[in-house]
């Protein structure tokens, strides 16, 4: 008992540790999870999931995959697909069957598999793995259209590929006289009714209950989770693994509703998904047998080569003809197709069953799937940022600043940032507040940054920092609270004071962003200082111009906002009081024009030290 408890704890710790290391050093998280699973399983023999966890192993993995796909569906809004809808439809409707057919041929002739095993494997490899794509997209920071294309394809294709595999497997069972054709047709029809209209109406019923107050806020995420799991299991009782399609349809329906608390529910699901992805991938990798890995020969290499360099490119380039995608976007989509948890889980399920039914190469199917997964994770994971940069599909090469609130102060600030080629955007719901910025050809967004329109128009992957500068402190705090979980609470700032003499009237410390200035500066003070002639300046520190010399050249009332190295992260002065910029750092300050030249200030400092 204690041994199992320790193994479960180890899986959780190793999974989250891999996620943190991947974030810290910009590695693909799935590659580290794959390595952790191999070390825990076939390399050391410490973990053998099938033996350790017995009969609950497969059902738990199946339910975990269902939750992962449900959460993925919650991220897909139809407005987001407006630019890529035609390409996504073509890739799913035409590209998917083409990958299935060509993958079957490749499995038989290149991989040496029997036709029935090759057909099931070809169907499984239609999927492109949202659990792999999502972390890669966060790290690669693609432009909105190619990122949307890869995300939609991954999430929608996962249940479709699983369904193709189910159909192939059921056809094999019919051909082997295990099932009869009438039962297969009936079960497939019932499963599709449950997965499409059934899931849609179930999601609509939940939406109606949420909107009309029949479910309290604190129970909404657990109820969504419970209904998704129940719907998945009921559909699977009719047709194995068809529940994946059910939960995906449920998630997409909910994502396109107007539930006020959808953001909080989505974050709850994201937290669960990170844990499940980490744990399940380690479990599935650890279940590999060493002899299976060592048994991979030139046939496995030939099959992987065919899938990556022949099957996928032909399918994508053919399916995307006339879709409006650029050749760069088509090339990126043709190359980037990492497989993940769903492919491994379904291959493990059907491969084991094939062996039990007397098909000897069922184990080979599992090994080939892992070979494709491992190869695509490594090749696609490490090549995506490089290829995106070569094809000019990265959203920005520099971290940018989103400024909420138009005013003379923010216009002057944005002008200075733009002159330094730092991406900047001023957003305001008042058209007149943006007048000065527009007259100076600064990028602006007219509308509320918390609106659904802003959610689809503003690509938050570009902005490393959000600064709220309106004259409404409560609104500033609300915007910071909303964007904090997405870009990091240490990267959201607001003007004004976070505290007052009467602590009973303060906002709770967990609300809002960090103070942009210390001591605090209010909206009216900033505008007055602009009228008094205060300006923004940028200074690069060198050996000749140290930080102390820089401060001596400025008036005592000047304020240092932040500093950074070119292309690096911003370090804000108000939240880093114990640190100082060093050589080659660029310092952004706000104050009156220097009373002394920098040369004179440097000379005075040198005279005092001699």
pLDDT per position as a tens digit, 261-311: 666 666 666 677 788 888 888 888 888 778 777 777 889 999 999 999 999
Q: What is the pLDDT of residue 296?
A: 77
Q: Residue 249 and residue 194: Cα distance in Å, rounded?
A: 10
| Bridge partners, 571 (sequence order) | 563
Residue 610 has pLDDT above 50, yes or no: no
The more confident residue out of 186 and 550 is 550
Q: Residue 188 and residue 89: Cα distance in Å, rounded?
A: 22
Q: What is the pLDDT of residue 502?
A: 46
Mean pLDDT of 405-418: 93
Q: Do domains 54-390 and 398-517 have the same CATH topology?
A: no
Mean pLDDT of 242-247: 82
**Residue carrying the six token digits 């991979």:** 296
Q: Residue 139 and residue 376: Cα distance in Å, rounded?
A: 16
Burial 308-321 (b: 16+ CB within 10 A, else e): beebbbebbeebbe
pTM of the predicted model as reported, rounded to 2 decimal places? 0.67
Lowest pLDDT segment from 415-424, 435-444, 590-599: 590-599
pLDDT band at 80 (very low <50, low <70, confident <90, very high): low
- Taking only the tens place, the pLDDT of each residue in 168-227 is 877 777 777 665 666 767 777 888 888 889 999 999 999 898 888 888 888 888 888 899
For the chain, the farthest-separated pair of C-alpha atoms sits apart, in whole angstroms, at 98
Q: What is the pLDDT of residue 224?
A: 87
Q: What is the pLDDT of residue 63?
A: 85
Fold classified for 398-517: Rossmann fold (3.40.50)
For 511, the 3-state DSSP assignment is coil
For 515, the 3-state DSSP assignment is strand
Q: Residue 312 and residue 372: Cα distance in Å, rounded?
A: 12
Residue 599 has a CB neighbour count (10 Å cut-off) of 12
Q: What is the pLDDT of residue 107?
A: 93
Q: Residue 271 and residue 256: Cα distance in Å, rounded?
A: 21
Q: Which residues contact 63 (CB under 8 A, 6 or more apart)?
A: 229, 232, 233
For 509, the 3-state DSSP assignment is coil
Q: Residue 356 and residue 362: Cα distance in Å, rounded?
A: 9
CA distances from 357 to 173, 284, 362, 525 (A): 9, 22, 9, 78
Residue 383 has pLDDT above 60, yes or no: yes
- The span from the first CA to the last CA of the chain, in angstroms, equals 73
Q: What is the DSSP letter of 142?
A: B
pLDDT band at 606 (very low <50, low <70, confident <90, very high): very low
The alpha carbon of residue 77 and the mean position of all alpha carbons in its chain are separated, in whole angstroms, by 15
Q: What six digits make up the tokens of 395?
A: 């959203």
Cα angle, residue 128 at apex, residues 122 and 131 outer, rounded to 5°: 135
Residue 44 has a CB neighbour count (10 Å cut-off) of 10
Pick the closest to residue 410 from 473, 474, 468 (CA basis): 468
Query: Is residue 92 within 8 Å of residue 157, measured between CB atoms?
Result: yes
Percent of the chain having pLDDT more than 70? Answer: 86
Strand order in the sheet with 492-494: 444-446, 424-428, 400-404, 463-468, 492-494, 514-515
Pick the closest to residue 282 from 465, 55, 18 (CA basis): 18
Q: Where are the alpha helices (DSSP H) in 179-289?
A: 181-193, 199-211, 220-238, 243-255, 262-286
- Taking only the tens place, the pLDDT of each residue in 131-175 is 677 777 767 778 878 888 888 788 777 777 777 877 787 777 777
For 35, the 3-state DSSP assignment is helix
Query: Is residue 385 within 8 Å of residue 336, measured between CB atoms?
Result: no
Residue 602 has pLDDT above 70, yes or no: no
CATH of region 54-390 = 1.20.1530.20
Q: What is the pLDDT of residue 169?
A: 78
| CA pseudo-torsion sign 218, 219, 224, 230 | positive
Burial 488-509 (b: 16+ CB within 10 A, else e): eeebbbbbbebeeeeeeeebee
Q: What is the pLDDT of residue 466?
A: 93
Q: What is the 3-state secondary structure (H, E, C) of 231-250?
A: HHHHHHHHCCCCHHHHHHHH
Q: Residue 418 and residue 428: Cα distance in Å, rounded?
A: 18
Q: What is the pLDDT of residue 597?
A: 52
- Taking only the tens place, the pLDDT of each residue in 429-480 is 999 999 999 999 999 999 888 876 676 677 776 788 999 999 988 899 889 9
- Taking only the tens place, the pLDDT of each residue in 504-520 is 444 444 567 888 988 88
Domain ranges of the chain: 54-390, 398-517, 533-610
- Half-sphere exposure at residue 7, Cβ-oriented, CA atoms within 13 angstroms: 19
Query: Is residue 22 within 8 Å of residue 28, measured between CB atoms?
Result: yes
Q: What is the pLDDT of residue 433?
A: 92
Q: Residue 343 and residue 126: Cα distance in Å, rounded?
A: 9
The more confident residue out of 510 and 118 is 118
State the chain's mean pLDDT as an integer: 82
Q: What is the pLDDT of residue 1?
A: 56
Residue 499 has pLDDT above 60, yes or no: no
- Taking only the tens place, the pLDDT of each residue in 310-368 is 999 999 999 999 888 899 999 999 999 888 777 877 787 777 778 877 888 888 888 89
Computed on alpha carbons and rounded to an integer, the radius of gyration of the chain in Å comes to: 28
Q: Which residues contact 502 (CB under 8 A, 6 or more apart)?
A: none
Query: Is residue 443 within 8 Å of residue 422, measured between CB atoms?
Result: no
Q: What is the pLDDT of residue 599?
A: 47
């Amino acid at each position: 008992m204690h041994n199992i408890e320790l193994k479960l704890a180890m899986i959780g710790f190793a999974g989250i540790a891999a996620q943190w290391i991947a974030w810290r050093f910009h590695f693909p998280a799935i590659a580290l999870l794959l390595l952790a699973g191999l070390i825990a399983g076939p390399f050391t023999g410490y973990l053998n999931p099938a033996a350790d966890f017995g009969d609950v192993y497969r059902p738990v993995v199946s339910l975990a995959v269902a939750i992962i796909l449900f959460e993925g569906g919650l991220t897909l809004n139809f407005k987001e697909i407006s630019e890529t809808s035609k390409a996504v439809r073509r890739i799913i409707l035409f590209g998917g069957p083409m990958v299935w057919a060509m993958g079957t041929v490749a499995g038989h002739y290149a991989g040496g598999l029997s036709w029935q095993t090759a057909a099931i494997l070809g169907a499984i490899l239609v999927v492109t793995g949202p659990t792999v794509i999502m972390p890669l997209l966060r790290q690669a920071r693609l432009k909105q259209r190619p990122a949307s294309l890869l995300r939609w394809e991954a999430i929608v294709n996962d249940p479709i590929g699983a369904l193709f595999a189910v159909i192939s497997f059921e056809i094999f069972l019919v051909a082997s006289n295990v099932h009869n054709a009438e039962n297969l047709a009936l079960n497939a029809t019932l499963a599709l009714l449950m997965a499409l209209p059934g899931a849609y109406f179930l999601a609509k019923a939940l939406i109606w209950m949420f909107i009309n107050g029949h479910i309290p806020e604190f129970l909404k995420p657990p109820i969504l989770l419970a209904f998704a799991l129940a719907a998945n299991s009921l559909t699977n009782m009719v047709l194995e693994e068809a529940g994946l399609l059910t939960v995906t349809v449920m998630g997409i329906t909910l994502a396109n509703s107007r539930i006020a608390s959808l953001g909080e529910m989505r974050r709850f699901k994201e937290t669960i998904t990170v844990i499940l992805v980490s744990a399940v991938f380690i479990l599935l990798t650890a279940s590999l047998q060493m002899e299976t890995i060592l048994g991979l020969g030139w046939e496995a290499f030939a099959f992987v080569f065919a899938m990556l360099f022949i099957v996928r490119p032909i399918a994508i380039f053919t399916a995307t003809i006339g879709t409006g995608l650029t050749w760069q976007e088509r090339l990126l989509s043709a190359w980037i197709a990492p497989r993940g948890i769903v492919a491994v889980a379904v291959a493990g399920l059907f491969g084991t069953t094939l062996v039990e039914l007397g098909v000897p190469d069922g184990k080979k199917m599992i090994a080939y799937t892992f070979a494709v997964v491992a190869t695509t994770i490594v090749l696609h994971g490490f090549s995506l940022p490089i290829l995106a940069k070569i094809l000019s599909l990265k959203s920005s090469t520099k971290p940018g600043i989103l400024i909420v609130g138009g005013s003379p102060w923010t216009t002057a600030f944005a002008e200075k940032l733009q002159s330094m080629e730092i991406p900047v955007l001023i957003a305001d719901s008042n058209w007149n507040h943006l007048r000065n910025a527009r007259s100076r050809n600064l990028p602006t967004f007219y509308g509320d940054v918390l609106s659904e329109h802003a959610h689809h128009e503003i690509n938050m992957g570009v902005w490393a920092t959000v600064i709220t500068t309106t004259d409404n402190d409560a609104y500033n705090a609300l915007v910071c609270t909303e964007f904090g979980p997405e870009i990091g609470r240490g990267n959201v700032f607001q003007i004004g004071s976070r505290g007052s003499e009467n602590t009973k009237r303060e906002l709770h410390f967990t609300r809002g962003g960090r103070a942009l200035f210390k001591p605090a500066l209010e909206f009216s003070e900033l505008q007055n200082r602009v009228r008094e002639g205060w300006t923004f300046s940028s200074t690069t520190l060198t050996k000749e111009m140290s930080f102390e010399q820089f401060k001596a050249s400025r008036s005592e009332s000047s304020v240092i906002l932040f500093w950074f190295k070119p292309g690096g992260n911003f370090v804000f002065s108000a939240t880093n009081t114990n640190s100082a910029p060093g050589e080659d750092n660029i310092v952004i300050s706000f104050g009156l024009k220097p009373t002394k030249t920098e040369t004179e200030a440097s000379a005075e400092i040198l005279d005092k030290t001699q």
